[in-house]
Amino acid sequence: MVALIAVFLYFKYRGPSQLEWEFSRSAQIRIPVEYPVHGIDVSKHQGKIDWTVIHESPLAENARLEFVFIKATEGITIQDKRFKTNYTAAHATNLRVGAYHFFIPWRDPVQQADNFVHTVKLKSGDLPPVLDVESSHPLKSDQQTIRDIDTWLQLVKKEYGIMPIIYTNRRFYQRFIKGHFDEYPLWLAHYSSEQLSGDISGKLWFWQYSELGKLNGIKGKVDYNVFLGDLNELEKICIP
């Protein structure tokens, strides 16, 4: 954990000129090559994925695809129709695998947590569960939204025995997450610049740096992410 916090501090206080970017032919985007551990996140929107070729090509000389987060559930009743297939097939690769829930702010958080835990049976070696939370309800107060997020996180933490990761964008983070959930690992989506500038507290583990990537085995575009550490550190945060 100390090592991960050190990685966060190292990243936070760097200027844009200090980040190295390189065009990746396999990803068809520029990637921050000084971070060796990259990953993707997928859902039914990527269609049928050929997992047999996903892990074959390096993104750059010192950067490889090492993990994938797969959408499992949404709201209180929706299960991603490709989750089970993707989860099983991803485990046949060398990738570290995780699952996420898309939070609907006007739905009951207890039922949303139930939807996730009844759908997702994480294994030893999997990445921690993820709450994807990006929007609020106009009729709910900020404090009620924060309480609903906390309810989901506490129930899922109790179920899996590990602290969930919070995925969000910068605007939602500043309004609802910062100062309330700093003890939770953070996965931040941020595409508008080449660094995560600004005030970020807590434990930043993952950065979603592009939504425009390409990859053999996937038709269309896919999100690209980087883990702010090395492969050994990635393995340490997985479920025991």
pLDDT (tens digit, 9 = 90+) per residue, 154-200? 999 999 999 999 999 999 999 999 999 999 999 999 997 666 666 78
Whole-model pTM above 0.85?
A: yes
Which H or E run contains 227? Answer: strand 218-227
Catalytic residues: 41, 134
Sign of CA dihedral 231, 233, 239, 240: positive
Residue 155 has a pLDDT of 98
Average pLDDT by consecutive 10-residue portion of the chain (240 residues)?
Answer: 45 52 94 94 97 86 94 98 97 95 97 98 97 93 97 98 96 94 96 72 91 95 96 96
Confidence (pLDDT) at 1: 47
Instruction: Report the C-alpha gap between 27 and 20 in whole angstroms.
Output: 16
Which CATH number does the domain housing residue 139 bear?
3.20.20.80
Provide CB contacts within 8 A for 168, sequence distance 6+.
132, 133, 134, 176, 177, 186, 187, 188, 189
Encoding tokens for residue 190? 């941020």
Coil, helix or strand at residue 54: coil
Query: Structural domain tally of the chain?
Result: 1
Q: Which structure tokens are listed for 29?
A: 């985007």
Residue 14: the pLDDT is: 41
Q: 58: domain range?
A: 2-236
Give the strand pairing for 218-227 and 37-42: antiparallel
